[in-house]
Amino acid sequence: MVQVDIYTTRYCPYCIAAKQLLSAKNVTFTEIDVGRDAAERARMIDRAHGRTTVPQIFIGSTHVGGCDELYALDEAGGLDPLLAGHEAPAANERPTA
């Protein structure tokens, strides 16, 4: 399985939902709390091409986006292949939430 990073803050319901989906799929992920760490928040914003909301989820080198995008990717059948290391669909081929 590929490296999964999820940038979160405490008590964020979308962060909790995203982590629940990943955990239900038995995915090991690295959680990075940006609530009190300005350097990590800046790194997240840079990696997410300017997006400032949490969660921001990265699977391998693919920026999935937030919780809604993660669930949409799963519903479209694209999450499991991505977790297995296959290439993500192009952004214009991804379903919108």
The tens place of each residue's pLDDT in the chain, 97 residues long, gives: 799 999 999 999 999 999 999 999 999 999 999 999 999 999 999 999 999 999 999 999 999 999 999 999 999 999 999 999 987 655 545 554 4
User: How is the chain split into domains, by residue range?
Assistant: 4-93
- Which residues, other chains included, contact 10 with Cβ-Cβ below 8 Å and sequence gap of 6+? 33, 35
Cα 76 vs. chain centroid, distance in angstroms? 16
Residues 9 and 95: their CA atoms lie apart, in Å, by: 26
Decide if domain 4-93 falls under CATH 1.10.1060.10.
no
pLDDT, residue 91, reads 52
Determine the pLDDT at residue 89: 59
> What pTM, to 2 d.p., does this model score?
0.88
